[in-house]
Amino acid sequence: MEFTFAHNNINVLDVDKSLDFYKKALNLAENRRWDNPDFTLVYLGDGRSQHQLELTWLKDRTTPYDLGDNEIHLAFHVDDYDGAHTLHGQMGCICYENEGMGLYFISDPDGYWIEIMPFKDAHEK
């Protein structure tokens, strides 16, 4: 029996604002969308892997989501770490840096944290 990642889901308060953020910050593109009278699902992809990020917009939701301790996060490798850091600094979305580990986090419009790290040898930690 084999399992393969399909997608991760996050709920968003403003789907257009989130789409703009994920396009600009991570170069993710909309792969497909499912509209329902009560909610919309938007699937984003990086164009390289099969894994997708599903944004769920509950249309009647008007208050921000409680993310608790915000200990769950997404993570992305990037081929131009310095360029990404400059972009995210200009966007004002860097929320935490760990120079010792060589990574940083950005925060999306709903407060979800996203880890940004350079590509490294698969055996490095």
Three-state secondary-structure class, residue 115? strand
**In terms of pTM, does the model score above 0.75?**
yes
Superfamily assignment of 7-60+73-118 in CATH?
2,3-Dihydroxybiphenyl 1,2-Dioxygenase, domain 1 (3.10.180.10)
Domain ranges (residues) in the chain: 7-60+73-118
**Cα 50–Cα 119–Cα 88 angle in degrees, nearest 5:** 90
In the predicted structure, residue 124 carries a pLDDT above the cut 70? no
Q: Tens digit of pLDDT for each residue in 6-24?
A: 999 999 999 999 999 999 9
Q: Tens digit of pLDDT for each residue in 84-113?
A: 999 999 999 999 999 999 999 999 999 999
